[in-house]
Structure 1
């Protein structure tokens, strides 16, 4: 190649490049290749945006975890408080049972323990302690206990009962109560009950005397029952006064129960008035249970919607479940924002036997914890449909905890066949282990056969 040719070729190349540079952008792209170029500044901006997005996600996740922890702590605190209340109530009920069985020494010891714990039943515990001491013939001790009640709880609704008991103690000889005394009380009540059938006007004042006096709790409850069974307006009026709190809280709650059991629309109106005016949560709980006994969907729904006290809302929701108020529960579930309350509604669907709505929540609920609650409740419903839904959920689910909840639901159903099928096919070792663990507790032939099969491998 001559030098001239070389120069000409080089010149031609430079001319081609120059032509491309002067050509339109599209032509340059075809000629030189469309190589995407990004400045260092643009790259940094993109990285900064990614970092900010990641930080935002981390902050949101951190906030969610803190909120979850807070909710768990609050739930644990509520559960501890509820456990304490239940322990106190159990001790109180045990003491009352001892009174009914004439075990006055045991009753006095339990009521002393309860009074010393300074719980909500302390005033009632002091009254029944004094009552038991009087029955044991411990006159001075009983009077001292009554004085303690008056001093510590001057506004207590047990003051009237304590006054009647004090009069009886001071008039007594200080001797222990005899079985004949109890028989006399029972005999008197039988006579009064007979009078109610023949001459209720004469019997009603006698019943009131038993209720307002210092009779045993069992006899007072019987007198109230006789009163509630009467259909007379006077008897209903007396029962209404007791339900409004004219006597001690024990009798008030019992009157509320009997109004729900024996009363009609007027009785439910009385209960509604008491509910609106009472500040005693235990009385309100009793009224909600009476609404359930009377099948009063409307008032239960109203309490479930508007009650400010969460424990009362939960009670109303539970009672709605027991009266099969599924349409009301569905309305509540759609509008409720509290996960805890929604979980209670799912439990109420179970109480109502509404597997259909539980299936909907188990499949479509966005909140994972609520889905798990729905699945758990489905496990308590033994039906082919619920089993099929659980199978469908398990096959599609990716969340490990939800799948574990399905296994637990199968266990609750006693569905060994489904657990064996999963244990055979599951690739996840932890889930397989969970399925096998559940099978080991079920004592079913199908499950046992599979376990033996595993041992032989």
Structure 2
């Protein structure tokens, strides 16, 4: 009998095979909701092992040891353990699971022929096994490794997981045929989940041939989820033909967190073309929805490249709305470029609107540059507006170094400072673990 702690640990460590086999960067969103079949199978199996009086303790221990080896990435030891279990306990009622994990261990070692033979044997000997679907999925993966470049058939009667595995294998091994085969899947009666995965794979592997299909779906697909997926995939192609379509959708009048407009803005943010930066700037300046405009600024600030700073500087002068300007100021705080800092300093000192000045003051520490503290110290000493002084104090408190601590201590000691501001400084110092700061606070109590 397995002790309960041992059994629970073994279950908790169980790898979710289908998720592990299927998830790659482009498939993660589609497959996040995939049922963790192998993990659930492991849980079910271990419960059966514990509850079945006909099983020997030795077989149970061997199975648990083999799974532990898999969890630790020791696939040779796992294969040896499961092979020995199958040989020594040929009548064990859970032999199908042992066959599966032996095949899995072989596949992880790169012994694809052995894995394929073991999976075929499992399916022939146990066609109704609860591991059959997992075995079919793994066999498709193994077959694609055995015959790289050869088309992998997408089973019409398979589960969604199996179809997605087959599609992925097809696209990885036959990029030339990927677009045509996925187009067939999209025209079929397959589930939305399979079609979502197909769209992602089309954007990733379909090449130039995929772009017209994705453009058509981005503009006219009636299923909202599939349309949004197509828009994102269109951006992933990094094809110049995608940009005008994405601009058209991103400039739309309606916006929700999950909407074609949002998907188009994200697709533009991820598109590698420098022109995508200009289009995001157009959306921020002239888009028909205010939330879409501000979101375009947010995503623009996360892109790499000096041209992003160029566009943000242009936007600050171009957009008339105060709300959008504040987003531009916040975006400048995400850039390390010295030009961004110079603009923030100028805004903090000279902007006619106090709210813009406060936003610039809050944005400066976001750059993560220690030398920017000099700017804030100078601004604090020269500023006369009490509201802005408090904002500067808050920004000073975000620096964890001696110069910042010394300035806060100076504010606390200065009786000319308003009492509320001195209290804020004390509160900031109280969060520090610096010994000198602790001593300063203790001395105040004497």
| TM-score for both structures, normalised by structure 2 | 0.57
Partner of 1:291: 268
Q: In proportion to residue count, which structure has more helix?
A: 1
Among 309, 312, 317, the residue aligned to 2:297: 317
> Deviation string for 1:343-398 (max 9, x for gaps)?
11111111233322212211222212211111111132333442111111111222
RMSD over aligned Cα atoms: 3.1
Distance 1:256 1:438, change over 3 A: same
1:185-334 aligned within 5 A: 185-196=160-171, 204=179, 206-211=181-186, 219-275=194-250, 282-295=259-272, 296-323=276-303, 325-334=308-317
How many angstroms does 1:405 deviate by?
A: 0.9
Distance 1:407 1:231, change over 3 A: same
> Deviation string for 1:160-215 (max 9, x for gaps)?
xxxxxxxxxxxxxxxxxx88668543333333334345656765454245445665
Q: Does 1:455 align with 2:445?
A: yes
Q: Distance in 2 between matches of 1:340 and 1:418?
A: 32
1:63-78 aligned within 5 A: none
Q: Does 1:409 align with 2:416?
A: no
Q: Does 1:418 align with 2:401?
A: no
Higher relative CO (Cα under 8 Å, sequence separation at least 6) belongs to 2
How many angstroms does 1:231 deviate by?
A: 4.1
Report the 3-state secondary structure (helix = DSSP H, G, I; strand = E; otherwise coil) of the residue aligned with 2:333: helix
| TM-score for both structures, normalised by structure 1 | 0.56
Q: Distance in 1 between matches of 2:350 and 2:436?
A: 32
Count residues with an aligned counterpart. 288
Q: Distance in 2 between matches of 1:370 and 1:346?
A: 8
Partner of 1:11: none
Report the 3-state secondary structure (helix = DSSP H, G, I; strand = E; otherwise coil) of the residue aligned with 2:242: helix
Among 412, 433, 437, the residue aligned to 1:443: 433
> Deviation string for 1:123-149 (max 9, x for gaps)?
xxxxxxxxxxxxxxxxxxxxxxxxxxx
Higher deviation after alignment, 379-388 or 274-283: 274-283
> Deviation string for 1:20-52 (max 9, x for gaps)?
xxxxxxxxxxxxxxxxxxxxxxxxxxxxxxxxx
How many angstroms does 1:432 deviate by?
A: 1.2
Q: Distance in 2 between matches of 1:200 and 1:260?
A: 19
- Structure 1: gaps of 5 or more residues: 1-94, 104-177
> Deviation string for 1:224-260 (max 9, x for gaps)?
2221122444322222222224142222222222222
Give the conservation status (yes or no) of the 8 Å contact 2:294–2:324.
Answer: yes
- Structure 2: gaps of 5 or more residues: 1-28, 38-129, 138-158
